Amino acid sequence: MPESGGLMDSLKRMAGTLLVIFQARLELLSIEMEEERLNIKQMLLYASIALFFFALAAIMLTAFVVVVFWDSYRLQVLAGFIGLYFVAGALAWNALHRVANRKSQLFSASLAALADDREQLVPPP
């Protein structure tokens, strides 16, 4: 009968170890999610600031060039800027699609840690 007590203790220790490993992996997952959220917030903030100032610079540059060429080529200058802005917008749209379709690396550390745990706990066939 002492063998079953030893077996039960061993199973309890193994279950406890598995719970500790599972808790550690959940904490790692939580940390990765928080880091990704902060990274996205920071990127959106900087992108918004940059977009505002680039738009302001484009408006001022357009107004300056139109005023310089007001007497002779104002319509051609305006058409040129419209074309330039359209091409820049199309390039930015294309870049947005490439970034949106790129595979995310979110949870890669958690998945790698779980794979290591599985390799250690499950003997190879």
| Per-residue pLDDT reduced to its tens digit, 105-114 | 766 777 777 7
Specify the pLDDT at position 96: 85
Specify the pLDDT at position 60: 93
What is the pLDDT averaged over residues 91-114?
80
Chain centroid to Cα 77, Å, comes to 39
Interacting residues of 100 by C-beta distance below 8 A, sequence separation 6+:
none
Specify the pLDDT at position 68: 92
Domain count within the chain: 1
Q: 103 by DSSP, 3-state: which?
A: coil
Is residue 102 scored above 90 in pLDDT? no
Containing domain of residue 98, as a range? 2-121
pLDDT, tens digit (0-9, with 9 covering 90-100), for 3-59:
556 888 888 888 888 888 888 888 888 888 888 889 899 999 998 999 999 899 999
Specify the pLDDT at position 21: 85
Per mean pLDDT, which range of 11-25, 64-78, 83-97, 103-117 is the poorest? 103-117
Per mean pLDDT, which range of 64-68, 90-94, 121-125 is the poorest? 121-125
d(CA 58, CA 84): 10
Contact 45, 57 (CB under 8 A): no
